[in-house]
Structure 1
Amino acid sequence: MAKAFADFKYLTFDVVGTLIDFEGGLVDCLTAIGADAGVTVDGEAALSLYRTARYDAAALRFPDDLARVYMKIAPQLGLSADAALGERLRQSVSSWKPFADSVEALARLKRRYRLIAMTNAQRWAFAHFDAALEKPFHAAFTTDDTGTEKPDPEFFAKVFAFVEQEGNSASDILHVAQSQYHDIGISRQLGMTNCWIERRHAQKGYGGTIEPATFVKPDFHFTSMAALADAVELDRAA
């Protein structure tokens, strides 16, 4: 049986896709590039192409990799394979927006927990995301800090070590994320309690996120960050 919300001291968060609307940001930029060229871009098709390109052997760290990805998928979308447009996609990350409920929910959760960001994004991109989220985090770990990406257990090990330095343990953490592949499955393997934020609950497929080999039933399951914050407050009031 899952622990109660009151049992945790930390909430760790995936950022891109859970708190920041990366699919919306990606599609908005590709749509704008298409509009400039008189081309209509199919958003779901673009996300599917992105997903395949992002996870091939030539992938670089995110989001620097977006310039390479653009060059690979542009012809399939009817767009010009222009390096300047690839750089435009990469730079669009600086203006990607939080989901509508992210900022308020994090502010509410921050009153009760230490919040830790765990993102496969590089530090330069996280700085923009952190500012857009109004800097709610007690600590943050990026791919530049860990030298790896989730779902590599070593990424999580860095966070566990940090928590232990503060006199606590992994059992004090609730891990919150939208990606079954990057977060929910591996957090279960590592013995963590987890919370799945199913951002695509009203849409088919996995969008821009790689499909997991096996679906893992989470300890907690919500379709929004607002619902998680509401549940925490109800649990604390009981």
Structure 2
Amino acid sequence: MPKYITFDCYGTLIDFQINKTTVEILGERADLVDLHRFLVVFRDVRYYECHAPYQRYSDLLRTSFKKAMDQCGLRYKNSDGDRLVAAVPTWGPFPDTKPVLDHLGQYCKLVIISNAEDDMIAHNVDNMNVAFYDVITAEQARAYKPTPPIFYYALRRLGCNKEDLLHVAQGFNYDMMPAHGLGWERVWINRNKRPGNQEDYGPYTELHDLTGLPVLLGI
């Protein structure tokens, strides 16, 4: 039984509605581009920015949104980034989040490791109404997943070794791949039924949602 279960937040516990929100913000501009391509570009730019020198997550979202729109020939307005940043704290949990975490919390300490800033994620945590032992953010670590420093920071902050925890995440590139390199035990919450990669990044356990975690842990 792990002492700590660490969770990615957005996409794992919180319904990460960034594509839906982005399309709403674009409005009529969405008709001017290949929308699927734009969302892929925006996703890739965000990932790239996580490897750049640290900036607050709100600034990372604004920067990434503008760069994606520039690449796709759309006009960016400062209000676009403001609306996107304002939307993130309003997103709520998946239906399985609270019941599963309330159960797990009776046996293990629950921790979030998130590419977020403190003020922003505080609202998402409130939306979950779950008793977390700690919430570790990129703002505290001054680094983003998938880079190793935030994972090392989490170990130092918790005062534990990698053997003391189980990492649970939806993000394959952001979480599963780097945590593999660090030797962390992992569970992939594959809500979107995407192809994994056990050959290069296994072994890990794959579940389609959180409900299988108590069974996996025998609790």
TM range (shorter): 0.7 to 0.9
Unmatched tracts of structure 1, length 5 or more: 1-6, 207-211
Structure 1 215/92 Cα, relative in aligned 2: closer, same or farther at 3 Å?
farther
The aligned residue for residue 209 of structure 1 is none
Q: Deviations over 1:31-86 (max 9, x none)?
A: 22244x37458764343021222115588432332222222333667854211122
The aligned residue for residue 124 of structure 1 is 119
Which of 69, 88, 104 is matched with 2:99 structurally? 104
Structure 1 58/219 Cα, relative in aligned 2: closer, same or farther at 3 Å?
closer
Which of 14, 21, 29 is matched with 2:15 structurally? 21
Q: Deviations over 1:132-170 (max 9, x none)?
A: 111431011101111112233222222222333xxx533
Does the 8 A contact of 1:39 with 1:79 survive in 2?
A: no
The aligned residue for residue 65 of structure 2 is 70
The aligned residue for residue 168 of structure 2 is 176
CA distance in 2: counterparts of 1:229 and 1:47, whole angstroms:
34
The aligned residue for residue 186 of structure 1 is 178
CA distance in 2: counterparts of 1:99 and 1:117, whole angstroms:
15
**1:160 counterpart letter in structure 2:** L
**1:224 counterpart letter in structure 2:** D
In the alignment, structure 1 residue 92 sits paired with structure 2 residue 87: yes
Partner SS, residue 57 of structure 2: coil
Does the 8 A contact of 2:167 with 2:187 survive in 1?
A: yes
Does the 8 A contact of 1:180 with 1:215 survive in 2?
A: no
Does the 8 A contact of 2:185 with 2:204 survive in 1?
A: yes
TM-score by length of 1: 0.77
**1:180 counterpart letter in structure 2:** F
**1:185 counterpart letter in structure 2:** M
Aligned length: 214
The aligned residue for residue 11 of structure 1 is 5
Describe how 1:132-171 pairs up with structure 2 within 5 A: 132-164=127-159, 168-171=160-163
Does the 8 A contact of 1:27 with 1:46 survive in 2?
A: no
Structure 1 26/117 Cα, relative in aligned 2: closer, same or farther at 3 Å?
same
Which of 214, 217, 231 is matched with 2:202 structurally? 217
Structure 1 48/156 Cα, relative in aligned 2: closer, same or farther at 3 Å?
same
Unmatched tracts of structure 2, length 5 or more: none
Structure 1 175/39 Cα, relative in aligned 2: closer, same or farther at 3 Å?
closer
Identity across the alignment (%): 29
Partner SS, residue 148 of structure 1: coil
Partner SS, residue 64 of structure 1: helix
Structure 1 150/34 Cα, relative in aligned 2: closer, same or farther at 3 Å?
closer
The aligned residue for residue 32 of structure 1 is 24
> How far 1:111 sits from its partner (Å)?
1.5
TM-score by length of 2: 0.83
In the alignment, structure 1 residue 51 sits paired with structure 2 residue 43: yes
Structure 1 147/219 Cα, relative in aligned 2: closer, same or farther at 3 Å?
same
CA distance in 2: counterparts of 1:20 and 1:218, whole angstroms:
25
Which of 173, 178, 187 is matched with 1:195 structurally? 187
Does the 8 A contact of 2:8 with 2:168 survive in 1?
A: yes
**1:30 counterpart letter in structure 2:** T
